[in-house]
C-alpha cells in the first residue's frame, strides 16, 4: 500500500522529515510543500532519500529556490501534479 508523504514544515525547525523517513516504505513518495521546500538548501538531506520525491515548484519559486530546485534532483511538481500524486497513492499523510 503506497503512501504520499506531504511535508510542509522546514527541515530546520522541526522533525517532520526525520519522522517521515522512519516510516517510508518502497513505493512511497514525498512531496515537499510550503516551508518544506527549504529542504532544497540541504543537499545532504535529499541525498539520503530512498523514495521518489517532489517539490511544489510554486512554493520553491516563492522562496527564491528555483535554482536549487533545478540542480537538486527533485522532481518539480505543479498543482495538477499534486492532485495526480494524491490520486495515485492509496494513502496520504501530512507531516507538519
**Residue 55: CATH number of its domain:** 3.40.1260.10
Chain position carrying cell 522529515? 17
CA end-to-end span of the chain, whole Å? 22
Q: Which residues lie closer than 8 Å to 6 by C-beta, 6 or more apart?
A: 30, 31, 33, 36, 92, 93, 94, 95
| Count of structural domains, the chain | 1
* Cβ count within 10 A of residue 81: 15
pLDDT of residue 4: 98
pTM across the whole model:
0.94
Answer yes or no: are the C-beta atoms of 3 and 93 closer than 8 Å. yes
pLDDT of residue 46: 85
* Residue 1 confidence (pLDDT) above 90: no
Domain residue limits at 33: 3-95
Share above pLDDT 90 across residues of the chain, in percent, rounded to a whole number: 79
Average pLDDT, integer, range 66-86: 95
Task: Give the closest residue to 94 by CA, choosing from 25, 33, 11.
Answer: 33
Amino acid at each position: 500500500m503506497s503512501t504520499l508523504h506531504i511535508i510542509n514544515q522546514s527541515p530546520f525547525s522541526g522533525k517532520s522529515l526525520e519522522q517521515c523517513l522512519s516510516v517510508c516504505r518502497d513505493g512511497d513518495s514525498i512531496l515537499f510543500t510550503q516551508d518544506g521546500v527549504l529542504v532544497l538548501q540541504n543537499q545532504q538531506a535529499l541525498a539520503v532519500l530512498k523514495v521518489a520525491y517532489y517539490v511544489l515548484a510554486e512554493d520553491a519559486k516563492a522562496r527564491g529556490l528555483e535554482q536549487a530546485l533545478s540542480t537538486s534532483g527533485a522532481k518539480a511538481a505543479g498543482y495538477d501534479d499534486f492532485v495526480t500524486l494524491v490520486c495515485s497513492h492509496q494513502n496520504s499523510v501530512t507531516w507538519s
